[in-house]
Structure 1
Amino acid sequence: MTVAPRPERFASLDMFRGATIFLMIVVNTAGAGQPFTQLVHAPWIGFTLADLVYPSFLFAVGNAMSFALTRPMTDGVFLRRIFKRAALIFLLGFMMYWYPFVTHAADGSWAIKPFADTRVTGVLQRIALCYLLAGLLARYLSPRWLLVAAVALVLAQWAILAGFSPAGEAFGRYRNAGTLLDLRLIGPEHLYRKDRGFDPEGLLGTLPATANVVAGYLAGVVIQRWGKHTATVGRMVLIGAGLVIGALLLTPVLPIAKKLWTGSFVLLTVGLDMILIGAVIGVVEVKGVRVGRDFLQMLGRNPLAIYLFSELLVVTIELIHVRPGVGLYRWIGETWFQALAPGPLGSLLCALAYTLLCCWFGRALDRRGIILKV
């Protein structure tokens, strides 16, 4: 019996994932002061660099899946693994939002954070659902039909928004079909609290977000087939540019909106990710540049652990109140970094310092061979 060789690993794909998690922490943990505009999500319609981070992580999930699904396994083993992993990622996301399980009461005392008020939706929860749906599709569909399925997911969300939202509310915030679905099925007490009933990780947006995972999977498949060549870089950049142009042409009828995860947003982010991954392949695989390779690969090997650490640590630090209503992380940003560099630069320096602390944690895990796998 002959055993099929395992596909060649691309350092550029691991580096892409590492760079994504680095930028994700920078965006999520801005220090005190007004951050640079490009490091803040667009309020509604529009696009910033910060809006590229989450879809890029989903794209990277698909990249990794293109390697994982080459391993031979029976349907039973595959289904057990994918459902178990999706459930654990979802649970980790839910527990992350419930953490630290206590909260400051109005009188300054501590109180148990009610389970009934904990957010059900969220970043990891959407990753879990997208991973599950994309994995099932990739397992049982050929690449051609997988592309058709991705387009269908995007069109399905568009049709639901257009067909089931009240007149004039398809691309509004509070009365579009997705928001109404979340309010009905999940309830406001389990949704994002900072946007008065709208949840940017709601159920309907999971459909087009899955297309980003599928796109990452298909990109991984063709990269493995095309190899580490200049022609591969050219093809990736050309495809990406075409998708970006398509997204811009669609904006009059389908606006680019990360919080709604519209189809034009999918095209734009997949296009940019194709260009970026092509560029990284060109620099790393074709030219052989090694600057930053070990660092980014280290981050890319353990993205889930590093992300969880970054989210839980900042929440823990903020529990320490230096003065009423001001947690330690905000105080550090105000007292140290804003004094050093007032305004957006100080905010960025604080975020970078915190991100490097999280990278140190990832490095400590990596040296011990510890990788969080679920």
Structure 2
Amino acid sequence: MEKGQDLAASGGEKGPEQHAIDVAPIEVEHGDGKGDDVIHAGDDTEKERLVIVEEPQKKKSTRVAALDAFRGLTIVLMVLVDDAGGAYERMDHSPWNGCTLADFVMPFFLFIVGVAIAFAMKRVPNMGAAVKKVSVRTLKMLFWGLLLQGGYSHAPNDLAYGVDMKEIRWCGILQRIALVYFVVALIEVFTIKARPATVRSGPYAIFDAYRWQWLGGFIVFVVYMVTTFSLYVPDWSYVYHLDGDVNDGKRFTVQCGVRGHLDPACNAVGHVDRVVWGINHLYSQPVWIRTKDCTFSSPETGPLRADAPAWCLAPFDPEGLLSSISSILSGTIGIHYGHVLIHFKTHKERLKHWLSMGISLLLLGILLHFTKAIPINKQLYSISYVCFTAGAAGIVLSAFYMLIDVWGLRVPFLFLEWIGMNAMLVYVLAAQGIFAAFVNGWYYESSDKTLVNWIQKHVFVNVWHSERLGTLLYVIFGEILFWGVVSGILHKLGIYWKL
């Protein structure tokens, strides 16, 4: 998995409103003691809380913790697959069609961004100010995305920095989140006058009440499907660059001349990126090099086959333009889950709707995949992939909501909550390796003799006499557990990183 390939989420508790990974505080009130819920989106300093009335004049405040736990789980998965995926490549991204553990990370983040937007934009007193806030936050995410994944940062192992502007990567995780947030949030802002205060009863009333959001999702669906299956993909070529490799400097030509193909070589997603960004600005280490067409070691990395096709070494961006347009649907489904939480009055109603929709989406994605109509494919962000992962996200959120907010089993999930509250900090310092790079800057004699490398080798690898198992244990205890403790301490101090 490319470094830090996924993130997002909702509000903070004590700290100010967090973004890029945190969007807005959530407040659910049972203020009249009769069980009717009214959910409000607070300002930047309000706490996200669930207010439960025990008596008409007494209120008890707790967090809607399921959202933080969900976000924390996604961050944990991202760190796990990023740093242990090299040792256990079967958990890394699927080489092409299919879905692995790593392939859930990006859509989970976009889903929780959508949920959070529903609360952040619950009330928009000033439309101009809301548009400005959305635009500024979008620009912040774009800036951090370019800085962390554009090629400027070489963390954690390379202590150098800087990027050749001829080869800077314009796409990335935060850039995709920025696009999804910008589109979904603006639709929510501009439809404020059409937004109902209450939703009438009926299984489809919630869809009708927010029909403009679903219309936006439908337009996205049409644009993606029409472009994917009708755009002509001509032949294309590239020059491979890797110092010391036998193919360094060699030009390869890929023959296409087709429409509607979903294979690695001739799909519309790659063609759009090559035309819009230029092939030198795309991700240079795509996972398709692990396909059976390219190596006999598939799905793990191995030497190229002698008869490997020309596209095996070609650049391809997993966060490209057309696939990012498709990913807006993940945010659209997420905001629907947020609307359900706002308007549905009981736990039973919310869980019934969430689970029925989640299971339906999951089954639809599986049906499209196994009938080979539209394979599940993260690299293309196919419609079946949207349905499958959004359905899984809905089911996981429902499970967290039931365990934590309904049954009150909060303590076992505090670790995930803490990480979820400071998701941006963990993403930058852990997933992007900035903290490890800082530690590696203090080396002894040579740059490979650092505290990070010493701990990984002597505390984990040598003890277990296994490079793979040692790497996995280091990621679990030396990274995930470490950052969970740090996040917990920062939470107790009321310190949160926001954009």
Which range, TM-score by smaller chain? 0.7 to 0.9
Give the AA of the match of 1:121.
Answer: C
Tell me, yes or no, if the aligned pair for 1:17 and 1:60 is still in contact at 8 Å. yes
Give 1:127-276 correspondences, 5 Å limit: 127-141=177-191, 143-166=210-233, 167=258, 170-195=261-286, 196-251=314-369, 252-276=372-396
How far 1:168 sits from its partner (Å)? 5.9
Give the AA of the match of 2:364.
Answer: G
How far 1:327 sits from its partner (Å)? 8.3
Distance 1:69 1:330, change over 3 A: same
Tell me, yes or no, if the aligned pair for 2:68 and 2:416 is still in contact at 8 Å. yes
Q: TM-score, normalised by structure 2?
A: 0.67
Distance 1:245 1:327, change over 3 A: farther
Give 1:7-86 correspondences, 5 Å limit: 9=50, 10-30=64-84, 34-35=87-88, 37=90, 39-86=91-138
Is residue 348 from structure 1 mapped to residue 348 from structure 2 by the alignment? Answer: no
Q: Which residue of 2 aligns with 1:92?
A: 144
The 1-side partners of 2:163 and 2:226 are apart by 38
**Aligned with residue 302 of structure 1, among 414, 422, 430:** 422
Larger radius of gyration: 2
Is residue 366 from structure 1 mapped to residue 491 from structure 2 by the alignment? Answer: yes
Tell me, yes or no, if the aligned pair for 1:20 and 1:53 is still in contact at 8 Å. yes
**SS of the residue 1:204 aligns to:** helix
Please, which runs of 5 or more residues in structure 1 have no aligned partner? none
Give the AA of the match of 1:264.
Answer: S
Give the AA of the match of 2:435.
Answer: L
Distance 1:334 1:5, change over 3 A: closer
Tell me, yes or no, if the aligned pair for 2:279 and 2:315 is still in contact at 8 Å. yes
Q: Which residue of 2 aligns with 1:292?
A: 412
Give the AA of the match of 2:224.
Answer: Q
Tell me, yes or no, if the aligned pair for 2:131 and 2:189 is still in contact at 8 Å. no
The 2-side partners of 1:208 and 1:365 are apart by 36
Q: TM-score, normalised by structure 1?
A: 0.87
- Larger deviation, residues 334-343 vs 75-84: 334-343
Tell me, yes or no, if the aligned pair for 1:165 and 1:176 is still in contact at 8 Å. no
How far 1:17 sits from its partner (Å)? 1.2
- Larger deviation, residues 92-101 vs 176-185: 92-101
The 1-side partners of 2:352 and 2:467 are apart by 40
Give the AA of the match of 1:191.
Answer: L
- Larger deviation, residues 317-326 vs 57-66: 317-326
How far 1:81 sits from its partner (Å)? 0.4
Matched residues, percent identical? 28
Give the AA of the match of 1:27.
Answer: V
Give the AA of the match of 1:278.
Answer: S
Distance 1:104 1:275, change over 3 A: closer
Tell me, yes or no, if the aligned pair for 1:63 and 1:216 is still in contact at 8 Å. yes
Please, which runs of 5 or more residues in structure 2 have no aligned partner? 1-37, 42-48, 51-63, 192-208, 234-257, 287-313
Give the AA of the match of 2:414.
Answer: D
Q: Which residue of 1 aligns with 2:40?
A: 6
How far 1:317 sits from its partner (Å)? 5.6
**Aligned with residue 117 of structure 1, among 147, 160, 167:** 167
